[in-house]
Amino acid sequence: MAHTPRSRRDAQRIRRAAETADRDRMPAMAAALTQIGTAFDDAATINAFKVRVDRLIQLGANHPVVRARFCARAAMLSGRNLDGAIIVVERWWRDERKAFQIASAFGRASRLSLEILSELRLILRLLRFERMKAEYDSIVAALCDVPVAAAAE
């Protein structure tokens, strides 16, 4: 079975919900509500997040959008290995999530930094899963405009 892109899988999931509604002979309004519910459920939200991160990865470390989103955080991670960076970003994310919850209670919350940290968490975890520790150093260096010293390993 060939790999199906994530965005197409999401569309297929919505189409399957519509087909199930047709097969079960649901009224038109109930079928439409089922399809809308499928398009905006938790799975669709998570999938949209992963599609956004996939696009950022495809753009590469030298793209202006990626540099704008991650340059400051990459500078703070400079000098750390991948596992250490994951620990630090996890701590940042937890702290930012608490701050967001407090700010939400007062009506002054901004999701931007929490979204950036969520994206960074997923990217770092993906790098670790794919065993790309060497690429991590070059990505951080590219984001920080620091020349990379080739490791003699």
- Residue 137 domain flag: yes
Q: Tens digits of per-residue pLDDT, 59-68?
A: 988 899 999 9
Q: How many CB atoms lie within 10 A of CB 85?
A: 22
DSSP 84-119: HHHHHHHHHHHHHHHHHHHHHHTT----HHHHHHHH
Amino acid at 120: L
| Phi, psi dihedral angles at 31 (to 5 degrees) | -65, -40
Q: Does a structural domain hold residue 69?
A: yes
Domain that holds residue 102: 61-144
Specify if 68 maps to a domain.
yes
Q: For residues 49 and 8, what is the distance between their CA atoms, to the nearest angstrom?
A: 14
pLDDT, residue 150, reads 43
126 assigned to some structural domain = yes
User: 39 lies in a domain?
Assistant: no
Using the Cα atoms of residue 133, residue 125, residue 76 and residue 88 in order, give the sign of their dihedral.
negative
Length of the chain: 153
Q: What b/e readout covers 58-78, taking b as 16+ CB neighbours within 10 angstroms?
A: eeebeeeebbebbeebbeebe
Domain count, the chain: 1
Residue 1 has what pLDDT?
53
Residue 104 included in any domain: yes
In the predicted model, residues of the chain with pLDDT beneath 50 are 147-153
- The pTM of the full predicted model, rounded to 2 decimals, is 0.75
Q: Looking up tokens 């150093």, which residue turns up?
A: 137
The answer to whether residue 136 is domain-embedded is yes
100 inside domain: yes
